[in-house]
Structure 1
């Protein structure tokens, strides 16, 4: 069952899955505009910070908590995770990013990849759903092992950020691939931490990313929604 549960991850975390991830830069558009991310080295450092002490780390903790709650059928715990995941977003655009992707993911999964855990959660939780929570519930419902889900989700997070920087211009495709390869140790470390974490471990220090998402709300010329 666990091995079968890995296959849907390849589809769900593909850029082709209809969650609209391509439309969001996670505040990187402002960072590029202001020169804080201007080349491969600065882009790599920015993304590494998100995995080590920012939103990537927190999303992994939330995903793990949702996966465990859904696996155990703990409705109260799952509701608490879903509520916290929305409350943690530091700006309007980051909430939009998390909720729009989560809602879209739930619609697509319920239609094409139904399972009891997803249907039960959708019936009981009527608010927006943050993306890591939606992914955690679906992965649990399809029997995907938590460790593999965390690594795959974090790698997809990195890939989307790199794609945003490439499209914004400071780096090319080859540098983008080098950054993704360099992020693998950070992905594994964040996934390992999250696998044994609790909600008490939520927290971060990637303040420039949070500020960038706030500044992006009023950026004059924009390609991305966040």
Structure 2
């Protein structure tokens, strides 16, 4: 059963799953337009977001959802933790798309909530440990940002994959930490990424929605 559940989770968090994740850069497009131009810099930026930015707060909210906390309360928290209009649109739009597709796929209704809450609600039935679910979520999150950099920069596929592979230890540590975290852990310190997301709202030429 766990093997089938794992395959379901991989499908849900695959780039091919229709949440529209490819259209969002989480503010990274703004940072790249301002000079973030190589694989090491991109990997460092993504690492900060995973460790103390939107990746971390998503991981905690997902963890709390998996542990049975009230979804509507967590949805309110997720919306409150979105630091800008684009960040809010990012999590809400992807959450609605995820819930609609899983509902159609599974034949059961998954409520439309911010993305980590929607994923957590769907994943409650999976016979998988929370750190594994959170780790897959964060890997998809990081992979989407690395993919955005690949499309924006002269960044080769091999470089991009090395950058993502280099984030694996951090993803595993962050997932394990989030699996045990409570609501008091919902704090961020990734101000550069937050400001980049805000400035992106007025970027003249852009290929990503955030």
> Offset of 1:40 from its aligned partner?
1.0
Instruction: Tell me, yes or no, if structure 1 residue 106 matches structure 2 residue 90.
Output: no
| Deviation sequence 1:84-140 (CA, Å, 0-9, x none) | 11111011111111000000000000110244xxx3x63xxxxx5111110011011
Number of the residue aligned with 2:136: 152
| Deviation sequence 1:143-197 (CA, Å, 0-9, x none) | 3331211110111111000000010014221110011110001101110000101
* 1:78-157 mapped onto 2 (5 Å cutoff): 78-115=71-108, 119=109, 122=111, 129-157=113-141
Runs ≥4 residues deviating over 6 A: none
Higher alpha-carbon deviation: 101-110 or 165-174:
165-174
- Gapped regions of structure 2 (runs ≥ 5): none
Measure the CA separation in 1 of the matches of 2:76 and 2:3: 30
Please say if residues 57 and 81 of structure 2, whose CA atoms lie closer than 8 Å, have aligned partners that are also in contact: no
- Gapped regions of structure 1 (runs ≥ 5): 123-127
Of 214, 217, 221, 2:198 maps to 214
Number of the residue aligned with 1:24: 24
Number of the residue aligned with 1:125: none
Number of the residue aligned with 2:53: 54
Secondary structure of 1:15's counterpart equals: coil
Number of aligned pairs? 210
Measure the CA separation in 2 of the matches of 1:151 and 1:176: 19
Secondary structure of 1:141's counterpart equals: coil
TM-score, length basis structure 2: 0.96
Please say if residues 32 and 170 of structure 1, whose CA atoms lie closer than 8 Å, have aligned partners that are also in contact: no
Instruction: Tell me, yes or no, if structure 1 residue 33 matches structure 2 residue 43.
Output: no
TM-score, length basis structure 1: 0.89
> Offset of 1:4 from its aligned partner?
3.0
Measure the CA separation in 2 of the matches of 1:201 and 1:114: 34
Measure the CA separation in 2 of the matches of 1:39 and 1:18: 29
Measure the CA separation in 2 of the matches of 1:148 and 1:114: 24
Please say if residues 62 and 133 of structure 1, whose CA atoms lie closer than 8 Å, have aligned partners that are also in contact: yes
